Amino acid sequence: MNGMSYRTALVTGASSGLGRGLALWLGKRGVKVYAAARRREHLEALAQEAQAAGAHVEPVELDVSHADATLERVRALDEACGGLDLVVANAGVGGQTNARDFPWEHAKKVIDVNVTGAAATLSAVLPRMVERNRGHLVGVSSLASCRGLPQNAAYSASKAFLNTFLESLRVDLQGTQVRVTCIKPGFVKTEMTARIQHTMPFLLEADAAVELMGQAILRAEAEYGFPWQMASAVGVAKWVPNLLFDAVASKVL
């Protein structure tokens, strides 16, 4: 399945940032997009902007941290639209989880959204996609998944889960027409990064990041990390010995 053959798509975390931008990007290319998030008023504003641009974006109020309800809702959407061609698990939560004063309640929220919520979103209609022998699953991970970054135990680990989950799905689906893509953004100017106080190298504007993501989806890339400078640095960091990594990383933040 190539990008131009998408009829329908679900994008979670679509009330702001990359999810909002991607929902508009797909909608402007003729895809009927179900834009899902918790904040209904933001989704209504998105739908109006899309309509003004000649795109069809339908708001879906959804909290992916409630996994069972997410599973049911995504399956209902799949039935209502005659089959979702593209599912993008973009909803995510960030924030620091420093081991010296570990905030369990926040860590649990990160796991509920980034791990359980993402897995529920992606697996909800997977059996139906296999049965139809068409479809595309996309998970929005992060370059922060490469290693355990300082003060980010929950976030780095949650995105590492998504990487491995998607990789296993991709391997299992070889020989079918169901595609799997893992996207790993670096720093992008969004609501989430607006709260970050440390330096963010190679910071991208949201529109530029959305374009890169959209094109990677259309190409059905297995994995795609950006910007290339940060992705290259992360590739090297994977192979740095633990003693050196620990010494350097502990002084970064």
Per-residue pLDDT of the chain (253 residues; tens, 9 = 90+): 444 489 999 999 999 999 999 999 999 999 999 999 999 999 999 999 999 999 999 999 999 999 999 999 999 999 999 999 999 999 999 999 999 999 999 999 999 999 999 999 999 999 999 999 999 999 999 999 999 999 999 999 999 999 999 999 999 999 999 999 999 999 888 766 556 655 667 789 999 999 999 999 999 999 999 998 888 888 888 888 888 888 888 876 5
Structural domain boundaries of the chain?
A: 3-249
Topology given in CATH for the domain delimited by 3-249: Rossmann fold (3.40.50)
Question: In what side-by-side order are the strands of the sheet with 57-61?
Answer: 57-61, 32-37, 8-12, 86-89, 135-140, 178-185, 223-226
Q: Which of 171, 129, 143, 157 is nearest to 238 (CA)?
A: 143
Retrieve residue 115's tokens.
């791990």
pLDDT number for residue 2:
45
**Annotated catalytic, 155?**
yes
pTM of the predicted model as reported, rounded to 2 decimal places: 0.91
Retrieve residue 175's tokens.
């020989």
Catalytic residue among 6, 34, 155, 224: 155
